[in-house]
Structure 1
Amino acid sequence: MPKQIVFLHPDLGIGGAERLIVDSAVALESCGYDVSIITNHHDPKHCFEETLQSNLSVTVVADWFPRSIFGYMTALCAYIRLILATLYLLFYEEKPDVTFVDQISAPIILLRAFGYKLYRIPIDYIEQISTGMADIVLVNSKFTSNVFRETFTSLNHVQLRILYPIANEKSLCLPTSAQFHTDHQSKYEYRKYLSSEIIPEKAKIIFVSINRYERKKNLSLALYSLGKFLIFPYSLFFLSRLLILIIAN
């Protein structure tokens, strides 16, 4: 997966500083990175062609804020404009892996001191207070219970109960060959249809990862774990047999 790189720039016009930003962005993009530029001003009639023709994402933020006040406080207005662009990055964009801040250093204060946790402060506080008011707090695993204790340190007095989620077996789809049999057939007899049609009969090892199929579930961990599993001394024994990797859902 390519890294997310964002450039914060006050005015993406035509100049030496802008040339450097555009060249850097284009070079990174050509290397496979996902590059975007957030700027306070970008005039399609007064800019470098690469910002119009390449796959660079250029977002203009806070161009409505004045550049000066009656010809004064130009520097202050430039600071405010880029800070507004930084707030847009923090609240409305995905967290980038790398952020380049050009010319005005004020945004670094927000990026470094608060980052993407600023908006979580009031939310976490309200969530902690309201959760503590519940008569019973349920979690779906011991792991979630540990995360709860680490996150809500002021709620150590709250007793947690684990309620393991279960699947509705009526919603499970059986192979066609199994659907024609009577309902009174035992659940164990259905397994032979599942093992023969879904999982090859010769499979001796079944490595299963049950997660939602999305990025944050880190499905690559299943492949990493399987790779570690196969380097054990007895891996040759397993490699001589059919191995099935199932990433469910």
Structure 2
Amino acid sequence: MAEERRPPGGPGAAPSVLFLHPDLGVGGAERLVLDAALALQARGCRVSLWTAHYDPGHCFAESRELPVRCAGDWLPRSLGWGGRGAALCAYMRMVFLALYVLFLADEEFDVVVCDQVSACIPVFKLARRPKKVLFYCHFPDLLLTRRDSLLKRLYRAPINWLEEYTTGLADRILVNSRFTASVFKDTFKSLSHIDPDVLYPSLNVAAFDSVIPDKLDDLVPAGKKFLFLSINRYERKKNLALALEALVQLRSRLPSQDWERVHLIVAGGYDERVLENVEHYQELQRLVQQADLGQSVTFLRSFSDRQKISLLHGCTCVLYTPSHEHFGIVPLEAMYMRCPVVAVNSGGPLESVVHSVTGFLCEPDPVHFSEAIEKFIHEPSLKATMGQAGRARVKEKFSPEAFTEQLYQYVTKLLV
């Protein structure tokens, strides 16, 4: 059994780190996990990444640079049609994954890094040789689901308790922003004695620097000068409709010759296995038809890294629409590509976007968003000045070097 082997790292040796993640897709959490694993690997750690589901064709390309192994994908993702019981199934999948790693996998490791689902932590703490666990809290899961009915509240009550209890078993807890740290303290009352450390996500800038952007002729109709871009998963909480509604407001504010040169690309992570992705994509399509925006909007699903970089390079600015987003990696990606950001003035963007310097922070309504968008049409030079300021900010505050060193120190201190 893995827990009975000798610790693989000797005195002074870089630790062996095992990452555990529920589903290795294309979201912000997956981006951070990959960046963290690659950072520790570059720092000399032996790294392995375990997940319940991994499709190389529906994941960031950097995943191929890591040893990724799967277990438990045969377990259900939900209990029946409509995605019901997804949280319970995610807990079961992660607990099974942890048990598999401990008792069936040929793995030796010093530290476990897990995120999103804390239910697996007790498995590692109750082993014959308890493992050190670092838990990265992107945002409390109990705040990410609505409780519209008594049945849903009864279903969530034990899950919420389990999340709070098992999170507290981690040896160290990291969060992605000061905003998330404050929410963590307000939400997990029994963990008020814990002060989570803030580790901001960073960018794998080498991946951005190494790509020569493609032309966007296949995605953008001819004659479009002002290209606005939304990047987010096709989920209702991302408020993608705000970008479309802002476009409607913008149309009423512009002369026809300017409006005809405006185009919006709604690019987002899309998984056919996720019912909400399918439903929300259809909802947004209907909204475009009802608003007569068909000639001004392009939908792009599950785009490649190369397409994303090309879009960021060619667009006028990025529209980032989620409210109370715990951090959000898209604003960093945009700013590094010298692309200004129009974001909602809450959550993580308050810590990444500097208002009127690297973009604009707005109230989450179509009028304020359209006013910010309009500035780039009347003052085209804003893209260059704000874009340059954005790149400088990412290099200063969110560099891969700072992220790597901070994470490495957190991991190694667990073994002292």
Give the TM-score category using the shorter length. 0.3 to 0.5
Q: Normalising by the residue count of structure 2, what TM-score does the alignment of the two structures yield?
A: 0.27
Query: What TM-score does the superposition give when structure 1 sets the normalisation length?
Result: 0.44
Larger Rg over CA atoms: 1
